């Protein structure tokens, strides 16, 4: 079965390009792994208040989970209008219904974008309540579904001096790594990759199992979401 990496490589015909050219492309904004990144309308906390990712530029100060305000070193972006073929369904964004995580409007998440999840089960089983999980585990929730990206949609990658967890205005926490998104699936040199954060990163199957069991333990999806909304608000007030 083709992997996401295979599908994206075919989408841009990268295997036909010389390695030196591919290395040049990864330093531009032309080719990104569309399964990761942050959609332009996502509101992040900045030194000047909530701001859409699409309006964040190099040098702006963005609030991070571990290190307070940090300066953005660079921004990669990809406009879906550039695609010459239909995007494979495995890479379609997740649509998060309005109100689900305190957001007043529906929001979109790339399926392999890493989120920081706070989990009672993770604390008891792994010794830390915070774990990194791929966003597609949220597909367990009936309020989250996959939709084909429309041409006007834009995905971004914020780059910092080190890997950072940026804070969205609704309390969500998203991972930003130091290398180009292009590195993740094409296997480029490691020199651009920052050291990993100290949180446990769970593969999809383990993350899905953890979330499923926690929903059951909390008494269902509604009770689980209510618990996490309260925690998100606490983190926002503390920040």
Phi (first) and psi of residue 52, to 5 degrees: -65, 140
Phi (first) and psi of residue 140, to 5 degrees: -65, -25
pLDDT in tens, 54-78: 999 999 999 999 999 999 999 988 8
Ranges of the chain with pLDDT below 50: 1-4, 14-15, 21, 24-31, 184-195
Model pLDDT, residue 180: 63
pLDDT in tens, 197-234: 789 999 999 999 999 999 999 999 888 888 877 777 77
Give CA–CA dist 239/236, Å, rounded. Answer: 5
Q: How many CB atoms lie within 10 A of CB 123?
A: 13
pTM beyond 0.85: the answer is no
């Amino acid at each position: 079965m083709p992997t996401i990496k295979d599908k994206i490589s075919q989408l841009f015909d990268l295997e036909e390009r010389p390695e030196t050219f591919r290395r040049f492309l990864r330093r531009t904004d032309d080719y990104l792994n569309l399964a990761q990144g942050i959609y332009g309308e996502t509101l992040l906390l900045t030194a000047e208040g909530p701001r859409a990712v699409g309006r964040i530029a190099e040098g702006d100060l963005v609030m991070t989970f571990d290190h307070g305000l940090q300066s953005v070193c660079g921004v990669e972006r990809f406009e879906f209008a550039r695609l010459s073929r239909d995007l494979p369904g495995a890479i379609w964004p997740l649509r998060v219904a309005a109100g689900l995580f305190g957001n007043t409007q529906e929001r979109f998440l790339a399926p392999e974008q890493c989120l920081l999840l706070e989990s009672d089960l993770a604390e008891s089983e792994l010794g830390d309540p915070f774990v990194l999980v791929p966003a597609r585990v949220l597909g367990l929730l009936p309020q989250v579904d996959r939709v084909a990206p429309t041409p006007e949609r834009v995905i971004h990658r914020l780059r910092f001096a080190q890997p950072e967890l940026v804070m969205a205005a609704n309390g969500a926490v998203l991972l930003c790594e130091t290398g180009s998104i292009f590195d993740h699936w094409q296997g480029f040199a490691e020199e651009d990759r920052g050291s990993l954060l100290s949180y446990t990163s769970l593969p999809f199957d383990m993350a899905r199992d953890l979330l499923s069991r926690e929903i059951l333990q909390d008494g269902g999806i509604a009770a689980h979401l209510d618990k996490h909304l309260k925690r998100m608000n606490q983190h926002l007030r503390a920040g």
